Structure 1
Amino acid sequence: MVHEKFLLSLFLVTSLLSGTTIAKTEFLAAFCSSGQNYTKTSLFQTNLETALAIDTTEIDYGFYNFSGGRNSDRVDVIGLCRGDVNRGACRSCLDDSGENLRRRCPDQKEAIGWADECMIRYSNRSISHMNQTFPAIFMFNLKNASDPTLFNKVVRGLLDNLRAKAAAGGSKLKYATGHTNSTRSSEKIFGLVQCTPDLSPAQCTDCLNRAFQVLPQCCDGKIGGRVLGPSCNFRYETNRFYDQTTLPDAPAPAPAPQAATPPPRADAPPPSDGPITSPPVSSTSVGGLPPPPPPQGGGGNRNLVLFGLSTVMAALSAILIF
């Protein structure tokens, strides 16, 4: 059953000028919490500036995690880059996104922003090792599949396989990509799933399961779609949208212990992008979206936006869901 906060949506439409190029560190969406604010020149602001001054060496397999300060001046920051993004591009995305987020949320102590290649969030409370599914956004390609019912089953089967691979990843990377045949033999569907690696395998699995439950609402029969949340995300397309050649080197495996059943490696290498088989998947029955609530305070992009992102995601709609 989908949590009701994960389904509430706001439906405000904005159009971008055709032909406008979007910088890769521009946000797809951002959210500013209206809970607690800070003042300029406060210790919280100093701690936040320190936390967002990210050094390349602090990025471990596309993941950045910082915690500092005490009590009301505590700052927790989590940054996550898409698993195929190299370290230099990851730092650039996180740096720009941190600056953009502070500009959009100038005095809020909790905020999150999603760019195409990275996500960054900060809070005055502990957010590490926490499985959070909202706020989140979903996006979809406006084009419909020729056989929506069969296409939906193939997509769900692909994502289920990738979910298992990502959840089995180690404490440095929980990320998986793969492809399978579409409803037409000449067409493939490419998928990507990822969790923040501070989650346990069970937390990663649960986070992705909750995200997948939004599929009937966001992407029914669409040839492309994605959900981006604080702790996990997924995307699928009929064109490959990730760069398989820039995956980081896998950590060296630890020597196998002398035991009848050796435990799993702590940091397993990321799964390869080989073809996978999509098993039959039972249909998921989820109720329709409730009427959108009235706008609330807190700033950020609490809206539906029409994006011209790329040739792959050429016609997308994004909805912030809670």
Structure 2
Amino acid sequence: MNMLYILLLSLYLSSCTADDPLGNFCNENTNINSTSQVSLNIDRLLAEVVSKTSLTGYIAISSGKAPDKVYGLAQCRGDVSSKDCSTCIQDAAKQIRQSCPNQADARIWYDYCFLRYSTQNFIGEVDTSNGILYGNVANVTDPKSFKKQLGALMDNIRSEAVMPNTQGLGKAKTKLSPFVTLYALVQCTRDLSKINCAQCLAIAVENFENFCDSRKGCRVLYSSCYVRYELYPFFFPLDSNNGTSVGKTVRIFRP
């Protein structure tokens, strides 16, 4: 049975950096010895992930032979530079081994990238079993109009994400008023088919209604896709419009 853990965080734009992990998941049912062959295969896999991911912003690989074979996937957010991608993946590879030193199934989320590995072959499968949600605690002033415009914007970028040559990425903005702009971004991991990508994004967006109803910002991070909207620019290229302040957020972890 899934459970929700809620933690109030005082996160401000000035204190948030791309270097900070948004969260991680260490599967305690997959404990291994640090000297085992699986652990060695993980280290080899991470070395390859670090050296190759930034070339295209994505990698899906395996290391070793059965029964100790390890599968891995890493992906950067589609709008970030190769330099930022490389830095993020390096941080992720280091931090995931520190956070999950004895688990054969682990994932870590950053603002700019995502990394996971497992002894089970997950490549191509939709995974929404574990996720992290961030929601701004402040609400919009006109929920009915906001939901309508957010829904239309999300429909557009979800359609974009499953189009050829978009590599699972969709992003756009829309004016809510002369002074307020809504920004949104969605992305699937590139191993997913169009149908699986659409399915993952649909599940992720459902959380807007359940956990971020009428909030000024929300992020949903799964192992297979990522969705986010804000009332300030957060994807590249950045607008000169600073929008509204970030304020406090609620962090929810779904194991």
Deviations 1:237-277 (A, max 9, x none): 111111138xxxxxxxxxxxxxxxxxxxxxxxxxxx9xxxx
Report the AA paired with residue 114 of structure 1: W
Q: Which has the higher helix share?
A: 2
Aligned length: 250
Equivalences for 1:243-322 in 2 at 5 Å? 243-244=236-237, 313-322=246-255
Report the AA paired with residue 320 of structure 1: F
- 1:253 maps to none
Is 1:41 aligned with 2:42? no
Distance 1:169 1:9, change over 3 A: farther
- 1:98 maps to 93
Q: Work out the CA distance in 2 between the residues paired with 1:55 and 1:94.
A: 6
State the identity as a percent: 30
- 2:104 maps to 109
1:178 aligned residue (163, 172, 183): 172
Q: Which has the higher strand share?
A: 2
Q: Is the 8 A contact 1:61 1:83 kept in 2?
A: no
Equivalences for 1:1-322 in 2 at 5 Å? 5=2, 8-11=3-6, 13=7, 15=9, 21-53=15-47, 54-170=49-165, 173-182=167-176, 184-244=177-237, 313-322=246-255
Gaps of 5+ in 2: none
Distance 1:218 1:60, change over 3 A: farther
Residue 56 of structure 2: SS of its match in structure 1? coil
Residue 39 of structure 1: SS of its match in structure 2? coil
Deviations 1:147-175 (A, max 9, x none): 112212211211111001001144x8210
Deviations 1:175-201 (A, max 9, x none): 01101122x343221110000111111
Report the AA paired with residue 198 of structure 1: D
Q: CA deviation at 1:57?
A: 4.0
Gaps of 5+ in 1: 246-272, 274-310
Distance 1:321 1:198, change over 3 A: same
Report the AA paired with residue 162 of structure 2: A
Distance 1:222 1:21, change over 3 A: closer
Q: Is the 8 A contact 1:241 1:312 kept in 2?
A: no
Residue 251 of structure 2: SS of its match in structure 1? strand
Instruction: Please identify the structure whose Cα radius of gyration is greater.
Output: 1
